[in-house]
Structures are given as C-alpha cells and as structure tokens.
Amino acid sequence: MQIDADQTLKTLRRSVLLVSMPFFMLSLLLPVQGREIGATVVEIGLFYSAFSLMTVLLRPLVGWALDRFGRRAFFITGIAGYAVAMIGFALSDQVWSLTLARILQGVASSLTWLSASAITADMAGEQERGSTFGRVAQASSRGAIAGTFLGFALLNARISIDGQVTHIGSWPLLFGVYAAINVVALILALRQLPETKPASTGVDDEPIRWSRTWLLLLLVTLITGASVAMISPILIIFLQEKLGVGVETLSWAFLPTGLVWAFLPSRLGQLADRFGRKPMMLLGLAAAAASSFVIPALGSVIALALLWAFQEACYAAGDPAEQALVADLTGRQQRGRAYGLYVMCHDLGAAIGPLGGSWLYQTFGARAPFYANGVILALCAVVLMLFLRIPHAGPVTQVKVS
C-alpha cells in the first residue's frame, strides 16, 4: 500500500501537539506540587529520576520491537499510556502516588517518542531529515504553549453561584482536562496514522555497526543528558528564591523559549541539512554551557527570559541535527533499535543527573549544579569539535572519528 508521507507526518505532528500540551505545566508545577505534599528536595529529584529510569529500562526493548513489529501500535499505546498517567497525576496527593504517576509517564514516553522518531525517519527524505525532525519539535512546543495558557486558565478558573464567586481551579482539574486531550490524540492516531515500517529488502538488514562515531555520539549523549538533568529538579525552586517571584511570573519568562521551539527548529534543521550536523550540535552545546554559568548571576525575570531564549535557539539548532545524525548512521531496518539506544543513553544520564544535582545543591550550595553543568557541556563540545568528523555540506552519508 502506498503511504502519503505528507499526510502521515501531518497526523503525527497533530498527535504530538495534543500529547505535549501538559509538558510545560508539569515541569513547572511538579517541584511546587512536591513541596505542597511535603516532599524533600531529594524526593523531588526522585520524581525526575523515576521517570528517566523507567525510560532507560524500556527504550532498548521498545526500539527492538519497533523494528520487529512496526511503529503504529506502539505510538498508539504510548498515547493511551499518557492519558492514564495524566489521570494518575490528577489523583496524586502523596509522594508515592506522584512517583507512580511519573513511572507511568516514563512508560508512555518510551513508547510514544521512539515511535515518533522512527516514523519521522521513515517518512523523511535523506536531505530533509533535519527540517522534518524540526517540524515535529515545533509541533511539540506549540502544544506545550497552548497547554500552558489552558493550564493557567484552568488553575485560575472561577464560577459565580448566586452572586458568590468560587475558585474551582486545582491540580486535579488541570490534569483531568489534560487526560481528556490525550484521549482526543489517541482517537486521531487510531483513525489516521498508518504503519510506516519499511519493507525488508535484504540490503540494510544487518545489525547496527558499532563504529567509533556511533559510540562517541552515544557517550556524549549519556554525559550531556546527566549534566542538563542536574538542574531540572532545582531550577524553579532556585529561581523562585533568587528572583522572589511566583510560578506564574516565571512561566512568562519561559514563553520566549517556547516560541523559539515553536517556530525555529525546522528552519535551523534546514541548516543542518545544508551544512552538516556538526556545526549545529556544537552551537547548541557551547551556548548551553555559557548560559549555565550566567543563570546564577541573573537579577531579573527579563534577563532570564532573554538568556533562556538564546540558549534554546541554539538547542533548537542542535537537536534536529543530532536526531538526523542517528538516522544517517543506521539503515532503515535498524532505526527503532538505533533510536532506542540513543535515547536510552540520554535517559540513563537523565536518571542519574537529578539526584546528583540535588546532592550538589544541598552540599555545596544553590549555584553548584549550574557551574558543574556548564563545565561538563563545554568539555563535551570540545570533544566533539576535536574528534567528530562530519561533512559540512549536503546529506551526511559517511562519517568517521579521528
């Protein structure tokens, strides 16, 4: 059966947009909700590590299954898992139940995003991979922005009964609505998303070749995943304490970041398609390292917004390039396994990072995780600059490490 690639990618992006609506509000409110129910800083770090540890365990298995059984069923099951996880968040009022909801979210993430990456690689031409992955990233960010506006509207919702105004906004209401939106995404994928797994030709069915380039990419992904995750559980808490503002004010500071991801990744992905993957990857790492050193010195919300937008613009250049490089390095019949290993390395780092960041925060002070992150990202950028060899123009067809 002939598959309409454009229509398939459009359905994928729409599903991704809907699934992504809770993401920013969850990342923003999870530490706050943790404090509300009495969680310590280390327990808040556990919320993040529980999610990442689950994805670490599942990614390789899911990647193998994608190549063996196809993409569609796993993508659909992942969306259904997100709906269940959102219900879990809505009902959580203790540390153990919130941790369990994060575990369910980790299962859903493992299924959904590996499937989405494989579908994107299946449908994208070799010279359009960077921009195509960028469009998927844009869809996710646009969903998160829409979900943020919806989220604050729900949290601030009030009704008037007999002239008396009653506040009805709450954590359970918010995530109950997000669960319903995930059900809509599930129906859309069930009705419109076809199976995209390529038919076997016998030409590219051999196992993944463990080249030095591939190993270097996985190693750097592991290290940077851990490094960036160090600041995840303490970022909002640190900014609240330093800037003296509430969560809603901080959310506006992150709005320019969301707009960057909503409009730039596909355009920056085109640069990776044209000039090669390496320059974009280096740009993202270098900018992230520099901004991590600056964050502890910030004195205003406006300065935070400008810095974060700059950093994320550079990330938006590097992420599609890196995603496309994974497809460049592997054959059509190994894409599920390749993305499984790649994301597993990222998530293994992300499982370790939050606990390490929380420990640094409590042991050496609030600034320590940010400085450690900056040093590690800068070192990774130097390693890639010295040892990763990728053509600077056209599609990447051959790479090597010196």
pLDDT per position as a tens digit, 155-199: 888 776 666 657 677 889 999 999 999 999 999 999 999 999 887
pLDDT per position as a tens digit, 221-247: 999 989 988 887 677 777 777 777 776
Q: Is the pLDDT of residue 203 over 80?
A: no
Report CA-CA distances (Å) from 161 to 155, 158, 328: 18, 10, 60
Tokens read off for 3:
């598959």
pLDDT per position as a tens digit, 35-57: 888 888 778 878 877 887 888 88
State the average pLDDT over residues 63-83: 95
Query: Domain locations in the chain?
Result: 5-401
Tell me which architecture the domain covering 5-401 has in CATH.
Up-down Bundle (1.20)
Sorted by sequence, the CB contacts under 8 Å of residue 61 that are 6+ apart come out as 340
Distance of alpha carbon 340 from alpha carbon 64, whole angstroms: 8
232: closest CA among 358, 106, 102?
358
pLDDT per position as a tens digit, 304-342: 788 878 878 887 888 888 888 888 887 677 888 889 999
211-225 CB burial, b ≥16 within 10 A, e <16: eebbebbbebbbbbb
Report CA-CA distances (Å) from 142 to 172, 181, 241, 261, 344: 23, 14, 29, 8, 25
Distance of alpha carbon 120 from alpha carbon 116, whole angstroms: 6
In single-letter form, the type of residue at position 371 comes to: Y
Tokens read off for 284:
């993202």
In single-letter form, the type of residue at position 355 comes to: L
Q: Are 225 and 349 in contact (CB under 8 A)?
A: yes
